[in-house]
Amino acid sequence: MRIMSVVGARPQFVKLAPISKAITQLELDHVIVHTGQHYDPLLSDIFFQDLEIPAPNAHLGVGSGSHGVQTGAIMSQLDEILKKFSPDCVLVYGDTNSTLAAAISAAKLDYPIAHLEAGLRSFNRKMPEEINRILTDHSSDLCLAPTELAMKNLANEGLQERSVLVGDVMTDVLFQTKEKINSENIGNRLTGTTENPYYIATIHRAENTDDPLRLSGVISALANADLPVRLLAHPRLIQKANEMNVTLDRGSIIVSKPLAYPELVAAVLGSSAVITDSGGLQKEAFLLKVPCVTYRTETEWVETINLGWNTLANSEFEITQALNDLGKLKKVHENPYGDGYAALSAVQEIRDRFSR
Ligand code: UD1
C-alpha cells in the first residue's frame, strides 16, 4: 500500500516525523510531497535533518504568495504528481494552504483522503486556517481526530461516520524529543538561556502581525515584561514590523531566529512561561508543564485552558496581567492528548480503510 503525505509548512514537518516512522514500521510505501510553502532552511530543511525525515520525493517549490496564488500554485502541480505516484491514500496535515490545496486536488481526482488533526475548530471564520480546516474535513474520507472535543465538532457537522479518535501526533514527537534532550543535554547548547529565568515568545499569525495596533500592543507588552523575553521571530513578523516601523529589539525583548525543533523544546522546558499565538506551541508548553499566555481571542486547544495551564490574553494590558498572574494559575495534571502513539494508530487506521 502507498500513502502520499503532502506537507509544506513548519508544523507539518513536525507531524510528518512520527507518521513517517509509523509507515516504515508497518512496512508500507511512503511518498512525501513538499509544496515549498515554507522554504527558509530554518523553517524547513532543519526539521527534516533533526527529525530524521526522508527527503521529499517531489518538491513543488511554490514559495510565498496570497492565499489564492499559493493554493492555486500547489493545485496546478498536484494533478500530475498524483497521477505519477498513484497513491492508495493522500494524507494531509493540519490547516495550512498546503493542506487545503492537496485535499481539493485529491478529491477532484478521486484519491481517498485522510486528514490528520481533523475536527479542530476556533469558530472564528476570519482565520484562514479555520476555512482550511472546515473545507479539508468535508473533502476527506477519513478524519483522524486528536481529541474527544475534535470528535464532537466533527459529529456536529455530520462527519461522525468517517471520523476516528487517534490522539495527537505532536505529542508523540514531543515525548520522543524530550527524552533525547534529557539524554543529550541539548539545553546547554542554548547560550544565555539556561541559568537565568526568561520567557519564550512567538508571534506569527496574520491577525496579529498584519494589524499595526495588535502588533504594537503585543510588542509593547513583551518589551515591558518582568523577565527577558526570547522572541523567536518568524520571517513574517520581521517583515511586517519593518513595514510598520515597529521596533522589536527593545526593553526586555531579545530577538532571535526561529529555533530548530530540539532546541525549541529545550528552550520551552527551561522557560518560566511561553507567550504565543501558535497553536502547536500552546500545546507543547502544556505537555512540558510550562504555563502559556496566548495572544488570541480563542483557541482550538481548549483543554490547555480548562486544565489551568493556558490563559487567553487579547491586548497589551491582558498580556501584562496574565504574566503577573502566572503564580495564581490552578494547574491540573492530566493529558487529554494521547499516549504518544497517535501516529501508529493513524497509519493503522489508514491501512485498514484504504489498502486494496
Ligand atoms: C503558515 C500557515 C499557518 C501556520 C504557519 C506555521 C497558512 C494560511 N498559514 O503561516 O497556519 O501556523 O504557516 O509557521 O497556510 N516567509 C518566509 N520564508 C518562508 C516562509 C514564509 O520569509 O520560508 C514569509 C513570507 O514573507 C510569507 C510570510 O512569511 O509571505 C507568510 O508565509 P505563509 O506561508 O503565507 O504563512 P505563515 O505565516 O508561515
Predicted local distance difference test score (pLDDT) of residue 77: 98
Instruction: Kindly report the pTM of this predicted structure.
Output: 0.95
pLDDT category at 194 given cuts 50, 70, 90 is low
H/E segment holding residue 33: strand 29-34
Written as nine digits, the cell of 236 is 513574517
Predicted local distance difference test score (pLDDT) of residue 196: 86
242 in ligand 1 pocket by Cβ < 6 Å? no
State mean pLDDT over 77-85: 98
Please indicate whether residue 204 is annotated as part of the active site.
yes
Written as nine digits, the cell of 252 is 526586555
Written as nine digits, the cell of 243 is 513595514
Ligand 1 atom at minimum distance from 209 CA: 38
Of 96, 120, 215, which is best to mutate to test ligand 1, by the most ligand atoms within 8 angstroms of its C-beta?
A: 96
What is the residue-wise DSSP string for 90-141?
EEEETTSHHHHHHHHHHHHTT--EEEETTT---S-TTSHHHHHHHHHHHH-S
9 in ligand 1 pocket by Cβ < 6 Å? yes
Q: How far is the C-alpha of 302 from the C-alpha of 281, rounded, in Å?
A: 13
State mean pLDDT over 81-90: 98
Those residues whose C-beta lies under 8 Å from the C-beta of residue 121, and which sit 6 or more positions away, are 130, 133, 134, 150, 153, 300
277-297 pLDDT per residue, tens:
999 999 999 999 999 999 999
Those residues whose C-beta lies under 8 Å from the C-beta of residue 68, and which sit 6 or more positions away, are none
Pick the residue with more confidence: 95 or 183?
95
131 in ligand 1 pocket by Cβ < 6 Å? no
222-276 pLDDT per residue, tens:
999 999 999 999 999 999 999 999 999 999 999 999 999 999 999 999 999 999 9
> Closest Cα to atom 19, ligand 1: which residue?
38
Those residues whose C-beta lies under 8 Å from the C-beta of residue 38, and which sit 6 or more positions away, are 8, 9, 10, 44
Predicted local distance difference test score (pLDDT) of residue 180: 86
